[in-house]
Amino acid sequence: MTTKQFLTGLQRIVGEENVVFHPDDLLVFEYDGSVDRGLPQAVVFPASTDEVSRVIALAHRAGVPVVGRGTGTGLSGGAITPPGGIQVAFPRMNHILEVDTENRIAFVEPGVINLDLDTHVRKMGLRYAPDPSSQRACSLGGNIAENAGGPHCLAYGTTTNHVLGMEVVLEDGSVINLGSLARETVGYDLRGVFTGSEGTFGIATRIAVRLLPVPESVRTFLGIFPDVESACTAVSAVIEHGIVPAALEMIDALTIQAVQNVSDAGYPDDAGAVLLIELEGLQDEVDEIGGEVEAALWETGATQVRTAEAADEREQLWVGRKGALGALGSIAPNYFLVDGVVPRTKLAQVLGQVAEVSRKYNIPIANVFHAGDGNLHPCLLFDERQPGAIQKIVEAGTEVLQVCVDAGGTLTGEHGVGLEKKEQMPLVFSDDDMAAMLLVRQAFAPDNSLNPGKIFPDGKSHTPRAHPFAPGMTV
C-alpha cells in the first residue's frame, strides 16, 4: 500500500477534512509538554468508535504505527509519534454522553476536557475528583493513558481510582469492553491494567467514570515558611497528626518568584516556600481538623498562616499553584519536568540534593509539587536555543531521578515513563521485571504497533538496585 493509497483510505473513513497531512499543518502535532519532537505523517480526527476501529485496522494492515493523542499536555513524550506513524486525535469525540446522578456515574468520550466534566456535574451536586494542573486543557482519554493525578489525588487517588469501565479499540481494530459499572469486578482487573498503559495497549473511545458528591465544607490554608526545610517538616507534622488533607502542595521560592512575575497570587516575595493545604468534609469535621492543621503549621515554623473558606478566596490561593508551570516562562523559555516520587520523610534531604544538581549544572530548578504523597516535580529551566542545552538538561534530569531512586523512591508518580524516562527504567526494574511487563503488553498488542518505543529502554541492560520487596530488603 502506497502512502497516497493509505491517506486516501483514511479520508474515506473520516472524511477528507478530517485527515491532516501537509507538513506545515503537522507542526503543531510534533510535540507535547516534553522536550521531544516527532512529526507524524498524518493526524486523523475520528468521530465515533467505529471510525477509530476502521482507522486503526487500516493502519495495522499497512504496518503503520498509531499514537493516540489527547490535547498534547503530557509531560513524558507520550504523544510523540515514531517515524512514519500517524496520530489519532479526539477533538470531535468530546461529548459528555450521559450523567447518571443516582449512581454517580458519567459516560464520556475521550476528548472531553477534565475541567469541563467537573464543571458540568457540579451543577448536579457532584464532581470529578482527579484534577491535574493542566485540568483546564487536558482530556480524559489522555488522563487514562497516563493515569493522571493532581493535587487532590492525596485523598482521592489518581485516575485509576475513578474509572469504572471503558470501550477500547485494540491494535487490529477490534473493540472490547473492560471493567463494569460496579466498583469491583470478578476476574482480572483489566481496566486497572489498561489505565496508565500509556497508549501501548489500546485506545479508549467511551469511558465510564465515578463521580463524588460535592463536600459540605472546604477550607484552604496557605502556610508561609522561611525555607524549604521547615515547610517539609510541616508536611510530616500534618500527616503525623493522622490527618489526610484533600490536597497538600508545596511551592518553593523560585516558583513563587515566577508566579508573582505573572500575577499577584498573594505569595510573599521573601518566602522560602509556601504550603497549600485543603480540607474537605462535614463542617464540624473541617472545623476540628482545621484547628489541628493550623497549629501544626505554626509549630513547625510558619511565619504566617492564611485561611480561606469562601470559594473566591480559595480560588485566589490556588491561582499560583495551578498556573505555576506557565509562570516559569517568565524566568526561562523552556522547562524539563522530572516526576520522581520519594518517601515524605525524605523530602528535605532529596530537595537538598536536587539543589546540588542545580549548582553542579548551573541550571535553575524550580520546585512545585504534591508534597503530601512525596511526588516531586523539579522543573529544570533552560533555553533550548542554546547549543547543547537539551543534552545538558537531560543529563541533569537523570541525576535528579537517580537521587529519587536512591532515597527509596521511583521514576514517576503521574506523568508516565514515555520517552522521557524509559532509559532510566533499569534503575528500578530488572530485565526479568521488564520482560514480565512486556508479556502483558503482548497480550493486548502483540505487534507493538500502538505507541511503540515508549516505556521500555532501547539501550543496554543495566544492573538495577535491589527492589524494595526483595527478600531481606526494607521499605
Domain boundaries, the chain: 3-89, 96-213, 217-327, 332-418
Contacts 24+ apart (CB under 8 A), 384-393: 384/35, 384/333, 384/334, 385/333, 389/334, 390/35, 392/361, 392/363, 393/35, 393/336, 393/363
Place 233 in a pLDDT band, splitting at 50, 70 and 90.
very high
* Cα–Cα nearest to 217, from 140, 83, 310: 310
CATH architecture for the domain at 332-418: 2-Layer Sandwich (3.30)
Beta partners for residue 248, in sequence order: 277
Task: List Cβ neighbours of 134 (8 Å cut-off, separation of 6 or more).
Answer: 33, 73, 114
Q: What is the pLDDT of residues 212-232, one digit of tens each?
A: 999 999 999 999 999 999 999
Would the pTM count as exceeding 0.85? Answer: yes
pLDDT score, position 464: 45
Residues listed for the chain: 475
3-class SS at 359? helix
Res 474 pLDDT > 50:
no
Residues of the chain with pLDDT > 70, as a percent, come to 96
pLDDT score, position 184: 75
Q: What is the pLDDT of residues 317-361, one digit of tens each?
A: 898 898 899 999 999 999 999 999 999 999 999 999 999 999 999
Res 471 pLDDT > 50:
no
Phi-psi domain of 375 (left: phi exceeds 0; alpha: psi -120 through 50; beta: other):
beta
Please check whether residue 344 is in contact with residue 239, taking contact to mean a CB–CB distance below 8 angstroms.
Answer: yes
* Cα–Cα nearest to 457, from 428, 413, 424: 424
pLDDT score, position 470: 47
Measured at the CA of 94, the angle between CA 323 and CA 127, to 5 degrees, comes to 60
What are the residue ranges of helices labelled H in 124-252?
140-146, 153-156, 190-194, 228-240
pLDDT score, position 434: 96
pLDDT score, position 266: 84
Please check whether residue 66 is in contact with residue 91, taking contact to mean a CB–CB distance below 8 angstroms.
Answer: no
**Amino acid occupying residue 35:** V
**Higher-pLDDT residue of 129, 461:** 129
Place 461 in a pLDDT band, splitting at 50, 70 and 90.
very low
Q: What is the pLDDT of residues 10-22, one digit of tens each?
A: 999 999 999 999 9
Cell numbers found for residue 16:
477528507
pLDDT score, position 459: 55
Q: What are phi and psi of 241, to 5 degrees?
A: -75, 0
Q: What is the pLDDT of residues 39-97, one digit of tens each?
A: 999 999 999 999 999 999 999 999 999 999 999 999 999 999 999 999 999 999 999 99
pLDDT score, position 186: 82
Burial of residue 123 (number of CB atoms within 10 Å: 0-12, 13-18, 19+): exposed
Strand pairing class (105-108; 203-210) = antiparallel
Helix axes 3-14, 49-62, angle to 10 degrees: 170
The number of helix segments (H) and strand segments (E) in the chain equals 15, 18
Phi-psi domain of 374 (left: phi exceeds 0; alpha: psi -120 through 50; beta: other):
left
Res 205 pLDDT > 80:
yes
Please check whether residue 231 is in contact with residue 273, taking contact to mean a CB–CB distance below 8 angstroms.
Answer: yes
Q: What is the pLDDT of residues 121-173, one digit of tens each?
A: 999 999 999 999 999 999 999 999 999 999 999 999 999 999 999 999 999 99
CATH number corresponding to 217-327: 3.30.70.2190
pLDDT score, position 322: 87
> CATH number of the domain at 3-89, out of 3.30.43.10, 2.40.30.160, 3.50.50.60, 3.40.50.150?
3.30.43.10
Task: List Cβ neighbours of 270 (8 Å cut-off, separation of 6 or more).
Answer: none
pLDDT score, position 472: 42
CATH topology match: 96-213 vs 217-327? no
Q: What is the pLDDT of residues 394-450, one digit of tens each?
A: 999 999 999 999 999 999 999 999 999 999 999 999 999 999 999 999 999 999 999
CA 104 to chain centroid, in Å, comes to 24
- Average pLDDT over the chain reads 94
The Cβ of residue 63 has, within 10 Å, a number of other Cβ atoms equal to 11
CATH class of the domain at 96-213: alpha beta
